[in-house]
Amino acid sequence: MAQATGFHLLALVDELLIGIIQHVQSKDDLCSLVLACSRLQGLAEPALYQFILIRKGTEAVRLSESIVRRPIRASFVRTLHIRYKHLNRAGIEVLNQSLRTMYNLQEFLIEAPCCNDNHRLGDRFQSQGKIDYAEYFAFASSMTMESQPRVQISLQTCKYILASSVVLYLLILTLK
Amino acid sequence: MGKNAVIFLHPTLRNLTISCFDVGEDIIPYISANQSPTGLRSLTFDECNITVKGLAAILSLPKGLQRLTIGERMHHLHGYAHTPLGPNPESFLQALALQKDSLQYLKHIGVPCGVVGSIDNLSMDVFTNLREMELDNHSILASILSEAATRGSPFAGNLHLRLIQAYNSAHSPPGTPLDEDPLLGSMYQWFKLVPNLDFIIDFLHRRDGSAILTGMWKHEKQRKFAKKIFALAATDVTQTQNTPNKRRLKMFFVQSAGYIPPYMYGEIRPRECLIFDSQNRTA
């Protein structure tokens, strides 16, 4: 059909393709574009990696592996939300290393698991999280050693939720 | 919080939200060596134990903080010796005053606590740019604001106040005298002091808020009193429509899905439902 109407997506200049890609909402569609050819991969990967939501340790491992395979991907990440469930925490710790490579990160939300999230009523619950946040923020705040020094990671917005207490879940259930 | 306090030193961070931390004096060694001010503009504490000294240490860092939300621990209490800010009103105000020239919005939510220090001579007049406050009716800042306004301080007259009033039906059984009704009495008193008031009724995470609301003022006397307040606000709109000090009363109730803060992924946040707005003269 594309040939019949004389339209080739790849005939468009990069600026137009980027404009089109910016309107693609679906992660699956972005993945398809990335897999189509090397040119589209270069144009669509920044959009694919712009916002990352991690809900499982396995997802964290996949993200880290993809960054190792192509390190420039880390620079595409602008927004990172880490909101994993307690039962899916295995593997989250790999982000300790990957986080340092995301030097264009602007918005960072980290949420240690809470007993509201798949946890049995009455269980004592301690969750300090799997990521060493203090070490990360010390690194992010430090300056680069370049000729014009800048902060390592120019974060703009951060939300830091550590549910390290035993929540009085009974209270909610009673009121419900 | 300890070494995690290094987050307050980040130079480019503009917006920061911290939940479920104990913010005490142990942070001071980690941030006291810092010499350069930070660019933080908006800071939110959600369900945090905060000591006055810890708060002062943090507020000494930003160059010009504009929005500050202090949510003390109200739900996650087990195993914690809570040290509310309220019993030290003077020190609390001194800590806040570290950002007195830049602060535009201030919110404080805390558990009820007996005041140890006196609030007789305290006011918030030095906060020259503060235009909006959101206060739990238990907040010591609400008491300071009310006392100062009663003494004639003009501060409250230029303020948009959002007052959160917790409601438990056990506190207002049928037949309660009007001047003892916690909702109507509070709303009437506050509207006399603050001409731009949002009065927010919080049913404490109950999900049947609208049903409670329907049955709340079923007695004729209470309905008449409520109408009197609404009429007062509505009349004021017509009388002062073109004056800069326009009065406005809005009334909301909190529709909760039953979750408590901090709201984690997928949890439904409570939302405010407007019941009355004197500008629209609808009730």
Nearest to A154 among B12, B18, B265 (CB): B12
In a domain, A4, yes or no: no
Q: Domain limits at A42?
A: 12-51
Model pTM score: 0.86
In a domain, A111, yes or no: yes
B206-247 pLDDT, tens per residue?
Answer: 666 666 676 666 677 777 777 777 777 766 555 555 555 568
What was the pLDDT predicted at B180? Answer: 60
Mean pLDDT, residues B26-37 taken together = 85
3-state secondary structure chain B: CHHHHHHHHCCCCCEEEEECCEECHHHHHHHCCCCCCECCCEEEEEEEEECHHHHHHHHCCECCCCEEEEEECCCCCCCCCCCCCCCCHHHHHHHHHHHCCCCCEEEEECCCCCCCCCCCCCCCCCCCCCCEEEEECCCHHHHHHHHHHHCCCCHHHHCEEEEEEECCHHHCCCCCCHHHCHHHHHHHHHHHHCCEEEEEEECCCCCCHHHHHHHHCCCHHHHHHHHHHHHHHHHHHHHCCCCCCCCEEEEEEEECCCCCCCCCCCCCCCEEEEEEECCCCEC
A53-67 pLDDT, tens per residue?
Answer: 999 999 999 999 999
In chain B the domains, ranked by start, together with CATH numbers, are 1-158 (3.80.10), 165-283 (no CATH)
B269 lies within 8 A of chain A by CB = no
Q: What is the ipTM of this complex?
A: 0.82
Q: Is the pLDDT confidence value at B8 over 80?
A: yes
Mean pLDDT, residues B92-107 taken together = 96
What was the pLDDT predicted at B177? Answer: 57
A66-114 pLDDT, tens per residue?
Answer: 999 999 999 999 999 999 887 888 899 999 999 999 999 999 998 876 5
Confidence of residue A171 (pLDDT cuts 50, 70, 90): very low
In a domain, A69, yes or no: yes
CB contact under 8 A, B18 and A111: no
Q: Is the pLDDT confidence value at A154 over 90?
A: yes
Q: Is the pLDDT confidence value at B188 over 70?
A: yes
Q: Is the pLDDT confidence value at A176 over 60?
A: no
- Same-domain status, A38 and A79: no
Q: Is the pLDDT confidence value at A124 over 60?
A: no
- Same-domain status, A24 and A72: no
A107's enclosing H/E stretch is strand A107-111
What was the pLDDT predicted at B57? Answer: 93
In a domain, A25, yes or no: yes
- Same-domain status, A47 and A64: no
Distance from CA of B234 to the nearest CA of A (A): 36
Cβ neighbours of A156 in B, within 8 Å: 12-15
